[in-house]
Chains A and B, each alone.
Chain A
């Protein structure tokens, strides 16, 4: 078993110098002569490792430093300080052997040439990455099957829908079979079916090729389906690094009990906070420590048709983590 991490960050920092000015014409004129500069700590001392073959969710609100980190990991940005290694390469050196083993999928218009069909862009990527023809055909067949690309191959990219284009973007980004895959919001703007398909595909690609995947997404469904482990950053600092289940444990003080009764006549206000009750479906929020006791009490006292105990939705948990990080 290879114990060298695929990705390793030590106290990674990236500081941007930005010029700012007050609004208004006077300030605009003043800024011609003197520009006030300030430092923005986009990434402010992050440390973590990813083992080969791991899929990790990289989460944080907008402006948390996720994309900056991904850009440093893929060699597009030089870190201001700290250590960084991906597959034992220093990304900012942009070694060709390194670039051949990674991919970064970011936004919608990256890999594909706008005016020609995706199959031509794939062919171009084959030449760019110098993929041997036999490998190329095999990988392409596999990607076409997994992502159901067959009907799209001959259409000019500009005539494809957002979802179709994203599928082709992903295929183009993976033709060279990268060992490390950085995905920045791969499902953004896509409908639920397409999101699910891309999710399934990422899991499948990881399983087939043992690729290490670091993924950012605002859709918690992506994270829940793909990532056992999540890393959360906020304002450039690490807030949490661990299993998704542990995150829920740690950051939720409450559980939700949903009880099905004949009607809403019963008063459960003493057991916890009644969130809602409609047609006998009663939702109750109780402190985690009281869950077992309250559940027992309800089952003993009331004519229960059905009862479930749930963790709060993951979105809510993440929101709480962000809120704590902000305070």
Chain B
């Protein structure tokens, strides 16, 4: 455990140092990260106003609160392991990772966390700026915040493990960017990014409940906004826990299969 903690610490340091080398890219990425929820926010606020005040139970200020929190949650749970894997397989740098006496997922988790450390102040500032402009209807309760934190941690872990599993597809096809596109669309629709799930038609809501994406973004957002009943919160935690277990097993299985394939065909 001590060894693993040391590894995470070193990976975090390395990750932060690497990220700071590319300030330009960092700024561009952050602009994108703010712009996307901003577009949805503006669109849905306009829709709700023209619909006479609310859409699916959201007023314009509710949408502002929803998308500002969503931006923070998305930032906290976002990963880019698919691009990483694509690069690793194409450039053949994966062999070096395989030679290390430690599972490569640890390095990826730590690197991901390091980017969050670097980005957090900027994203927080962006959220504050948006709040000043859009006046979100946000009343935080202590209970909601207390429940939000574990929900966010679970959301991060589930999203990371699911993304990592999908990224392992790079072992089977060189066109992992195509898989990535499909995955991105699914996340967009079923996580609550394109619209809060209550706004979506009923069948889509049912699909979203079954898929993991809602539990990695939409659920913590709705929880913090106080839009869920205690029963819904408990159910949500249960589903998150189930997905965590399933995703962990999936990673284990997919990883073994991937290494086996890599060792069979070489790269």
Chain A residues within 8 Å of B, Cβ to Cβ: 16-17, 68, 71, 74-78, 92, 94, 96-97, 99-100, 102-104, 106, 109-111, 113-116, 120-121, 123-124, 126-130, 156
Contacts and interface: CB of A to CB of B under 8 A. Distances in A.
Contact of A94 (B14, B98, B264, B266): B98
Contact of A100 (B10, B22, B91, B101): B101
Interface residues of B, number: 28
Contact of A76 (B10, B13, B99): B99
A92 B263 contact: yes
A130 B7 CA distance: 8
B90 to A, nearest CB: 13
B185 interface: no
Interface in B244-267: 259-260, 262-266
A71 B95 contact: yes
A76 B96 CA distance: 9
A99 B100 CA distance: 6
Given A71-B266, A127-B7, A116 B14 contact: yes
Contacts of B95: 71, 76, 104, 106, 110
B102 interface: yes
Contacts of A96: 101-102
Contacts of B21: 115-116, 156
A68 B266 contact: yes
Contacts of B235: none
B263 A77 contact: yes
A77 B18 contact: no
Contacts of A75: 98-99
B13 to A, nearest CB: 7
Given A120-B13, A126-B10, 6 more contacts: A76-B262, A76-B266, A106-B95, A109-B91, A127-B3, A130-B3
B17 interface: yes
A124 B262 CA distance: 25
A124 B98 contact: no
B114 to A, nearest CB: 12
